[in-house]
Amino acid sequence: MRSAVELCSPVVNVELRHLRALAAIGDEGTITDAAIVLRISQPALSRTLEQLEHRLGTRLVERTTRSLSLTEAGQRLWEHAHRILNQVDDALAEASSGPRPLRVGFGWAALGRHTVPLLRGWRDRHPDTPVRIRRCDDPEVALRRGEVDVAFLRTTPADPRFGVRALFREPRLAAVPDRHPLADRDAVSLADLVDQPVALCATAATTSAELWPSGARPRTFEVPGVDEWLTTIATGDAVGVTTEATVHSHPHPGVRYLPLADAGAVTVHLVWPRTPTHPATRAFREHAGALAGAVAAPPGAGAVRGSA
């Protein structure tokens, strides 16, 4: 007879191959592409998925002849699966080659001019714990999936699984083509940009049409990443709004950055899982907090939500 735990636990027979299958399907968006990534046949992958759904007693993937999408339950398990698989891979790698580096994620500009001092200071104080920085299209998703251990965000995540520390505030800047009529100004206002198409970077998430007053908003359109954003502006197809870190991380000969006089500053946050994925997480938080103090953050910017 099975134990009470086995009877009550619907996931007792779920294996790593099931999680790898769902992770690949969610990543690739099709059974065909996921099977290629996993180097198995499509029928074998379909059987593995069906087996996982049967053992869990819930549908994870909606399939039609034309499309495939994760259900709500599938989406949640997809994120958990990535985190679990990353933890297993980390444990195996650590057993054979020692502790891995602390992984730090960011969307497009890390901490701008403060990035190198932060990393150099960490190396001096913690020479046995290297840091690897990683640009992510969505650092918050990377945190949930266990792909990074901490991340710098310029938005405030609502996920209660994260602890958040506000580090400092960054001024907003306008980005205009170097031959634009506004390029020779010392500063511009939001009103100066209303008649211009504004490119929004999908990985930045700090600018939208709502930055302008209702009834006086520019036409906006989205580009997929920072390289496309810079090229779109440099070629004269649009202007943009960003934060100070972009000047230091992404200088461009065809783009002029100008102070944006009437737009509020953006807060830079350090975010980490409440259940840490690396033993140096707390030390890195303290190190980043010390840097924030040196940058002379405003009162209250060092408040911490959550502990781990």
Range of the domain at 74: 4-92
Is residue 120 domain-shared with residue 143, that is, in the same domain? Answer: yes
Distance (Å, whole) CA 288 – CA 135: 18
Residue 213 to residue 259: CA distance in whole angstroms: 19
Total-model pTM: 0.73
Our count of domains for the chain comes to 3
Same-domain status, 147 and 161: yes
pLDDT number for residue 166: 94
Average pLDDT over residues 87-111: 82
CATH number, position 123 = 3.40.190.10
Query: Cα(54)–Cα(301) distance, rounded to whole angstroms?
Result: 49
What CA–CA distance (Å, rounded) separates 34 from 194? 44
Do 36 and 66 fall into the same domain? yes
Residue 231 CA to residue 245 CA, distance in Å, equals: 18
165-179, 237-251, 288-302: least confidently modelled range: 288-302
Report pLDDT for 169: 93
- Rounded CA gap, 286 and 291, in Å? 9
Indicate if the pLDDT at residue 102 is higher than 90: yes
Q: Are both 164 and 204 inside the same structural domain?
A: no
Across the chain, mean pLDDT equals: 87
Last residue of a domain, one of 70, 92, 114: 92
Are 225 and 138 a contacting pair, CB within 8 Å? no
Residue 179 is predicted with a pLDDT of 94
Express as a percent the part of the chain with pLDDT over 70. 91
Instruction: Determine phi and psi for 266, rounding to 5 degrees.
Output: -115, 135
* pLDDT higher than threshold 90 for residue 286: yes
Could you tell me if 44 and 103 lie in one domain? no
State residue 12's pLDDT score.
Answer: 58
Could you tell me if 159 and 178 lie in one domain? no
Neighbours of 87 (CB within 10 A): 12
Q: What is the mean pLDDT of residues 250-265?
A: 94
CA 22 – CA 53 distance, rounded (Å): 10
Task: Give the pLDDT of residue 4.
Answer: 36
Residue with tokens 């907090």: 289
Are residue 49 and residue 184 in the same domain, yes or no?
no
What average pLDDT does this structure show over 235-252? 95
Q: Both 79 and 21 in a single domain?
A: yes
pLDDT-based confidence at 82, cuts 50/70/90? confident
pLDDT tens-digit readout, 192-241: 999 999 999 988 878 999 999 998 999 999 999 899 999 999 999 999 99
Average pLDDT over residues 266-282: 92
Express as a percent the part of the chain with pLDDT over 90.
52
The CATH number of residue 52's host domain is 1.10.10.10
- Which range is least confidently modeled, 122-126, 239-243, 299-303? 299-303
| pLDDT tens-digit map of 29-76 | 888 888 898 889 988 998 999 888 888 889 999 887 677 889 999 988
Greater model confidence, 5 or 37 = 37
Pick the last residue of a domain from 59, 92, 125: 92
158 and 300: one domain? yes
Mean pLDDT of 255-279: 93
Question: How far does Cα 246 stand from its chain's mean position?
Answer: 16
Are both 176 and 283 inside the same structural domain? Answer: no
* Same-domain check for residues 177 and 126: no
- Do 87 and 107 fall within a single domain? no
